[in-house]
């Protein structure tokens, strides 16, 4: 159109998205057989029937089901401790934004020498090593947590 201004934009995220019916039933295809896996979710999702199918693909697997809505740094610290104790090579997070945010932060923390998230939360320290690889299975729509590097805990960004 004459006189109109064309706006251009570029958007890039370093994630791979698999979308479609039955995709969650093929998580194990993305994981090497010998990997040590931790599965994280919340109490509401843990009781759902589809979780049995996800868990059965990942056995043996350590499971953490205690992520709170709007997770705290304590939630992150506990999950990072589990990742360290299990010597996790991959984390699978199934849930909404809170589960995904807790998982992202714990994956980063687990590969550091820091005992807790607070030093990073306050901005005094930055992450300098790659975190534990993460696969997320969103159970809600709208948060976008599965494709962003942002982590929210009780209203504060990490």
Q: What is the CATH number of the domain that holds 88?
A: 3.40.50.1970
- What is the pTM assigned to this prediction? 0.83
What does the pLDDT average to over 33-41?
90
Residue 27 belongs to some domain of the structure: no
Residue 3 belongs to some domain of the structure: no
Cis link prior to 128 (omega < 30° from 0)? no
Domain encompassing residue 79: 34-157
pLDDT tens per residue, range 57-102: 888 889 999 999 988 899 999 999 999 999 999 999 999 999 999 9
DSSP structure class, residue 125:
S
Q: What is the pLDDT of residue 6?
A: 64
Q: How many domains does the chain have?
A: 1
Q: With residue 54 as reference, give the H or E element that holds it.
A: helix 49-58
Can you read off the two tokens belonging to residue 43?
């109490």
Residue 23 belongs to some domain of the structure: no
Q: What is the pLDDT of residue 153?
A: 59
Residue 58 belongs to some domain of the structure: yes
Residue 11 belongs to some domain of the structure: no
Contact 147, 138 (CB under 8 A): no
Residue 136 belongs to some domain of the structure: yes
The burial class, CB within 10 Å (0-12 / 13-18 / 19+), for 103 is buried
Residue 6 belongs to some domain of the structure: no
Q: What is the pLDDT of residue 96?
A: 92
């Amino acid at each position: 159109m004459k006189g109109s201004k064309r706006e251009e934009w570029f958007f890039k995220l370093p994630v791979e998205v698999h979308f479609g019916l039955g995709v969650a039933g093929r998580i194990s295809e993305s994981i090497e057989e010998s990997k040590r896996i931790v599965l994280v979710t919340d109490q509401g999702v843990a009781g759902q029937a589809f979780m049995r199918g996800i868990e059965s693909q990942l056995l043996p697997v350590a499971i953490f089901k205690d992520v709170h809505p709007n997770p705290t740094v304590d939630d992150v610290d506990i999950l990072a401790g589990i990742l360290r104790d299990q010597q996790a090579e991959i984390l699978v997070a199934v849930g909404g934004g809170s589960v995904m945010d807790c998982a992202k932060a714990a994956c980063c923390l687990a590969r550091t020498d820091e005992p807790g998230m607070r030093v990073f939360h306050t901005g005094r320290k930055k992450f300098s090593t790659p975190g534990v690889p993460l696969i997320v299975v969103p159970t809600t729509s709208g948060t976008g947590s599965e494709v962003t590097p942002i982590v929210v805990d009780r209203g504060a960004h990490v």
